Each structure stands twice: as C-alpha cells, then as structure tokens.
Amino acid sequence: MDFALSDEQKMIYEYGQSLVKQFDRAYWVDCAENKRFPIEMYQRVAADGFIGTMVPEAYGGAGLGMLEMVLFQEGLSDVGIPLLSLVVGATMSLSPIGDHGTEEQKQQYLPAGCKGDIRFCFAITEPDAGTNTMRSTTLLKETGDGRYRLNGRKTFISDAAGSDYMLVVTRNIPYSEVKRKTDGFTIAIVDTKAKGVEMHPIDVSILMPEWQYQVFFDDVEIGPENILGEVGRGFDILFESLNPERIILASVCTGMGRYALGRAVEYANERVVFNGPIGAYQALQHPLAKGKTEVELASLMTRKAAWLFDRRLPCGAESNMAKYAAAEAAIHAIDASLQCFGGNGFTKEYGIFDLYPMARLLRTAPLNSEMVLNYIAEHVMGLPRSY
Ligand SMILES: Cc1cc2nc3c(=O)[nH]c(=O)nc-3n(C[C@H](O)[C@H](O)[C@H](O)COP(=O)(O)OP(=O)(O)OC[C@H]3O[C@@H](n4cnc5c(N)ncnc54)[C@H](O)[C@@H]3O)c2cc1C
C-alpha cells in the first residue's frame, strides 16, 4: 500500500496556503458575518480550476478524482476556510450531472459550473420527512405531454437564493404507492428563478457565509430537459452522491481540526502565566495531542474512502466511518484548542469559539451521527436494524 502523494496531489493539497495570501480567514469571517457569499474567492478558485476538479476535461473540468477533491478541501480547511458551498456545488451537483446528464445537460451546466459562472445547490431535506428521505412528499406530477409540475417544499437548503440551479430530490410516485420505498424518486434540475419557486431565509447560529432557505415549489413547470437520469430512478443517483458528500465533509472537519490545533500550539508556545509557556503543561498538551491523533486517523480513513471511490470499489463503510470520526475529531480538537486560549478563545478577535458551531453542525448534518452509526452497526457489523 502506498501512502505517498504525487507531486500534483501535493500541489493540490498546498493550494489553500497560496489562496490564503489573497483570501485569508479574516476575509472569510467578514463574508460570514455579513452573510455575503465569498464570490471573489469562489471565482478565483474556479479560475484556478478547482471547482471542476472531478468534472471530465472535455467539459471544462480537471478530470481528477475524489482523492484530489479531498486534498483540495482539506488544504482549504487547514488554513481556516471551510468552504461548504464547494461541497454542494461541485461534488453533489456537477459530478452527478457529469455521470448521468444528457449531452445537452453536460454542455449547458458543466463548463459554466466549472468556470464559476453558475452555482448549484442540492435539496433533499423536507420539514416533515427529516432524516427519513423515503417519506419525501415533494411531488413531480406528469401533465400528460411528457412534461411535469413540481409541488412541495424543502428546508435548510444552503445557498439556495445565491444558486442558479437546484438539484431537487422529488418523488414522481408517492411513498404510499410504491412497492419498494426507494422506487419512484426523480432528480429534477430546477432553475431557482423559475415561476413558482419561492424562498424564505432561515437564520442559523453558525458563522458561515451561506444562507439556508425554506424553498417552496408551487406548480413549477418541469420539462424532460430538467430531469437528471431516468424518471423514477433518482434514488440511484442520490445514493451515489451520499458517499462523496460524507467523504468531502469529513475532509472539511479534519482541516478545521488541524487549523484549531495549529492556532492553539502557536498560542500555547507563547502565552506565559506562571513559569514558562502554558504549552508546557501536560494538562493542555494531552488533549491537543489526542485531538491531533484523532484528526490524522480520521484523515487517513477519509483518504482511503476517496481512494476506494475513485476505483469504483464499495466505500459505504469507510465513508460513514470517516464522516463520523472526522466530525468527532474536529469537535474534540476545537474544544482542546479553546481551552488553551482561556478567555481569549471566546473573543471575536481570536475567533476560536467561532469554529465550534460549524464542526458541531457536522455531527448533525447532512446525516446525523446516529444514522451513521446505525449504518455501521447494521451494514458493516450485521446487527439488527434499530429503527
Ligand atoms: C446549516 C445547515 C445546512 C444544511 N444544508 C442542507 C442542504 O443544503 N440541503 C439539504 O437537503 N439539507 C440541508 N440541511 C438539512 C440537514 O441535512 C438536516 O437538518 C439533517 O439531515 C437532519 O434532519 P432533521 O433536521 O429533519 O432532523 P430529524 O430527522 O428531525 O432528526 C432529529 C434527530 O433525531 C435523531 N434521529 C433521527 N433518526 C434517527 C434514527 N433512526 N436513529 C437514531 N437517532 C435518530 C438524530 O439525533 C437527529 O439529529 C442543512 C441543515 C443545516 C442546519
């Protein structure tokens, strides 16, 4: 087994360090505090070719894989820039369009998406169905002429109003009428400015530049050109997107953990309150060292999951374990870092406490840790289903 990165992979991992010279954490925090999408940074990342990391070269992308996407995302998070919109836009939308889109759809969306000219969001969650996606009620109803009307609502959709298109998980057959609960799903590519689409912002207590929205669909017209893949086979596409989402979010977490630990080490080596720097106290060292160990272990599993995904090998177990371990590692690392900073950790100036809500979010979303552990217990270990 070879753990070494190629020169190109090292360069991708180190990209965050060069980006941060122009767009540093202070820029990101300013955008987050003003709830302004970091558009200048996003466009620079697009111009440098990273939005289309996983998109084939023929459609304007880099034609690389999940591992490269992980390295890129880890590198950004390492320097304090957990750019979640890349997760949704690039990994959750451009990749499935590349894999399942018609030639027209690929031509329409991929080159513009890679250039950063258009953005995507991904809408699964519904207020009533929650974690149980099977019970989604957003309905795509055929109108008889090969066209459809979309009705329903989604919630917590990140960057919905800033995005040009939304990949919407719909049901073309209601849950109560399907033989298998995974039947009757269809993914629709919806223009966010289409007639009948309405959005209301949800204010969340997390320092992040993306807004979340409740999205309402009221008789939105959908043509065959808006359907991704086959009508009724959308669950397969959704299922394929879930492992990449977990892998990428794990890399956001490990990066955030490294950033918090790096800041703590710097501070603890300088801060003197008794004799010598506080970093000499084992009581502070051990939680930091545990945090570092957890972060690096999680990173290894994340890279393994990405490596398997790129080889089209089963990676459900590894993706779930990586997401679980990385969220926990980030939470523990940030907590250990916060303790080192004493009162300063809670100030806006030092910005350590600000890291916590996002790391904590990733224990709950996009899939809560309980469901991740349910998966591991049932599908990896063979225990009975608990719900
Ligand atoms: C900031 C933010 C951004 C988001 N962005 C998006 C987005 O872009 N697109 C999108 O579609 N969604 C998005 N979401 C939604 C997110 O994915 C959901 O909030 C999450 O999946 C949990 O669903 P829920 O809130 O309905 O919780 P519920 O389903 O009500 O679950 C509540 C809690 O119950 C527990 N639980 C549920 N089921 C089980 C079980 N079987 N066993 C054990 N425990 C269980 C878990 O602890 C869970 O946290 C976002 C959410 C937030 C807060």
Measured between alpha carbons, how far is 169 from 123 in angstroms, rounded to an integer? 6
- For residue 86, pLDDT beyond 80: no
DSSP 181-231: TTTTEEEEEEETTSTTEEEEEE--SS--S--EEEEEEEEEEE-GGGEES-T
371 CA to middle of ligand 1, Å? 10
pLDDT of residue 353: 97
Residue 362's alpha-carbon distances to 203, 248, 330, in angstroms, are 17, 11, 9
Nearest-atom index, ligand 1, CA of 127? 26
Each residue's pLDDT tens digit, 134-147: 999 999 999 988 89
Out of 88, 121, 155, 156, give the residue to mutate to test ligand 1, the one with the largest number of ligand atoms within 8 Å of its CB.
Answer: 156
Residue 331 contacts residue 260 (beta carbons within 8 Å): no
Nearest CA among 17, 26, 79, 18 for reference residue 351: 26
- CA torsion 63-309-369-333 (nearest 10°) is -70
Please compute Rg for the chain using Cα positions: 21
125 CA to middle of ligand 1, Å? 7
Q: How confident is the model at residue 216 (pLDDT cuts 50, 70, 90)?
A: very high
**At residue 348, what is the residue type?**
K
- For residue 164, pLDDT beyond 90: yes
345 CA to middle of ligand 1, Å? 29
Q: For all residues of the chain together, what is the average pLDDT?
A: 96
Q: Which residues line ligand 1 (CB under 6 A)?
A: 88, 121-125, 130-131, 156-158, 204, 206, 212, 361, 364-368, 370-371, 374, 387
Each residue's pLDDT tens digit, 181-209: 999 999 999 999 999 999 999 999 999 99
Protein residue whose Cα sits closest to atom 44 of ligand 1: 370
Out of 248, 364, 387, give the residue to mutate to test ligand 1, the one with the largest number of ligand atoms within 8 Å of its CB.
Answer: 364
Average pLDDT score over residue span 249-258: 97
Out of 119, 131, 248, give the residue to mutate to test ligand 1, the one with the largest number of ligand atoms within 8 Å of its CB.
Answer: 131
Percent of the chain with pLDDT over 90: 95
Predicted TM-score of the model (pTM)? 0.96
Average pLDDT score over residue span 356-372: 96
245 CA to middle of ligand 1, Å? 14
Nearest CA among 301, 289, 351, 353 for reference residue 327: 301
3-state DSSP helix/strand/coil percent for the chain, to nearest 5? 55, 15, 30
Domains in the chain, start-ordered, CATH in brackets? 7-119 (1.10.540.10), 121-232 (2.40.110.10), 236-380 (1.20.140.10)
